[in-house]
Structures are given as C-alpha cells and as structure tokens.
Structure 1
Amino acid sequence: MILLNGPNTPFGRLAWATALQLATEVENRVIDVYSAGFLDALNPLRQIPTLVLDGDRALFDSRVICAYLHSLRPEAALIPPSDWAVETRWSLAVGLMEASVARTMEMRRQPPERSMASVAKHDQRIARAIAGLEAQADEICSRKARIDRLATAVVLEYIDFRAVSDWRAAAPRLARWLEIETTRPSLVSSRPYDLQPTGGDRSILHPQIAEGARP
C-alpha cells in the first residue's frame, strides 16, 4: 500500500501516524499535489491523503483511510467498535484541523485579498473546538493509544507548527498531556516539516502547499 501524502497536512499525518501506530506496512510517499495529474484517476478530488491499495484501487479521505487500516489490525482497538463518543471526539478533532488549515491558508493570502472576517470566524471555531476537547480531557488525556487521542495530538501539534492559536492557557490539561503524548513513536516519526529533510522518502518539490489539499 502507498499513502500519497504531503509534508505537513494534519489529515495526512493522522493517516500516517495511524499506520505507524498499527505497525502496518505502508509506504508514505510525499507528493506535490498540484502537479500530480496521475492522482486524478485515483481520487477525482485530487486530494491528499489518498491510500493506493493496488493498481487503480484507492481510498480517501483520512477517516476512511484510518478506519481501513484499523480493519487490518482490529486487535489493536485503536477504533473501538460502536463507540460513538470516541467517533464524535475524532470528528471534533478533524473539524479543528479543517478550521486551523483554513485559517492558515487565509493568512497566506496577500493583505488586499485576505478576509479578516473569515480569519475571525476561524478563530472562533478553533477556540470552541479546543474548549470542547478540553472539556473531555478525562477521556483524552491518557497514554493508551486511541484514534480520538491520536487525532487530538496531531491537530494540537499542527496548531503549534503553524502558530494558529496560543491555546494552552485555555486548555491546561491538554497542554500537560501533549508534552508527554508527543513522545509517542508514531507521532515522532510523522511530525510535519516545511524544509526538505535529509534522506528518507519525504522529499518534495514544493513543501509549502499540501496541507490545505484535503480534509
């Protein structure tokens, strides 16, 4: 299997971290999504992450990919069956990713084209989502791997990576938990980056572009 990915998309990072957490054999291939014409035949939306299974079979989006990878290793219990509270927290973390990426992309516009009203709406959504996750810290702040916890760690690190929000004062329990959770090997190995690293399979021509390509 090949995971078509970017260097700093939180959605793609969650899929890759899930594969690593489950010790599933997947090649993480970082691509320039804007020039990847071949991707259209696999994913008509031309979005990442996309998981190529074999030949012309592919899965997307990130939640579908994570669920599929878990189906290969259900004994890991990363996604508890029919636990709708876990599924809802996972969805909340993904929604926070969407708002954080949207804010990042809006702020990259030239000032005359930038909508500060849109930025303010994203900021409000981000603040509400973080408060919602903090309110459920009893369930999230654990060292036992689970998809809602993995997604929460990924999005909080993305917020730090892009300086989206100074969130720690509003979510002290999540902040304390994240300090330890980010040492998890699956998160260490999937950490986002901007500059091309040395060695490995993570090279990319245009490292700034891919995070907004797909939820």
Structure 2
Amino acid sequence: MQKVHPILNLPNILTLIRVLAIPVLVLVFYLPFHWSDVCAALLFLAAGITDWLDGYLARKLNQTSPFGAFLDPVADKLIVAVALVMLVQVHATAWLAVPAMVIVSREITVSALREWMAELGQRAKVAVSQLGKIKTVTQMTAITLLLAQKPKFTLDGDIIMNPWLWLSYGLLYLATAFTLWSMVSYLRAAAPQLLKSQSKS
C-alpha cells in the first residue's frame, strides 16, 4: 500500500509553485520589454518541467496524496488555458483561436468525464494514457515557442509568418490532433458506462 504523505511535501510544493507562477507568467508576458517574450516562454517551460518533476518525485519518494492527485491536473490545465488566452489575444487570428478553443474544450470534457467515472469507481479506465502524455509534450512545446515570439503584422493586419512561427503553428495543430484523438480514446473507454447510464435514464 502506498504511504500517503501530508499536503506540504516536495511534489505538492512544486505543484503549488506552478499555480502561483500563473499570474507571474501573465505579468511577464505583457511587460513592455523586448525580452518579455523569451522570459515568459522560459517560465512556461519551467512550469512544464515541474509538471514532470513533481509526478516523478511523488512516485520516487512515495509521497502521493489526494491533494496532489487533485491539484496536479488542475495546475496543468490552468496554465495551459491562461497561456492560450494570451496567445489568442496577441495573435488575433482564427488560425490560433480554433485550436485553442478545441484544446480548452477537450480539457473541460475529459475532466468532467474523469470526475463522473470516478463517482462510478471506474476512474482507472480513463487514466492518463501514453497518447495523452505525447499530447501534453507536443502542446507544451508549441505553446512555449508561441510565447517566445510575439507576431509582427503587415499594414493590412495580417501576421508576418517566419519559419519559427510556421513551426509553432504546425506543432499546435499537431497537438490539437493528439488532443482530439486522446479525447475519443477516453470516450471509447467510458462508452460502456455512458451507454449503460443512458439506457437507464
């Protein structure tokens, strides 16, 4: 049996730092300095690394806790959603708004699905999969690259594309594809319970 540690253990402290870094990320991103983009990107990247690190330490040090299990995914979704909102505002284009909408909608859907499955005692069926982990890495990489470069616009209001921006958009769309794929995978895993509930309603 795994030993449950108090709330203030090292993995949970790292997760709390990730949550507290969100307003700092927003502040740094909007600072009127030429280095603010790169600084915001590095802050977001550091948050992504702590996401992996706190999970690793929780398993390695045997310091799992219900609080950590709750807060870790919440912290991830909060910082991703906030970063996407900022990027949509700065880029102001449907090419970024659409994948951002899909990613945020997926996170809400899967979170609700996991909560519902947990109430049925079937949480393990929709646990984070390998595909979900690949999605997360691709998504974090794309957002980091997008944060690092505020777009420049033509006189007509169109974004001036460059190789790094093309790469960033490409990775974001790849992450969006993984996002939809993983959501369908989770919904298929939960389908027996969803259909059973529907047939009794």
Shared fold (TM-score, shorter chain, > 0.5): no
Say which structure is richer in strand: 1
Say which structure is richer in helix: 2
Structure 1 or 2, whichever has the larger Rg, is 2
TM-score when normalising by structure 1: 0.31
Bigger relative contact order, structure 1 or 2, given CA contacts below 8 A and separation 6+? 1
TM-score when normalising by structure 2: 0.33
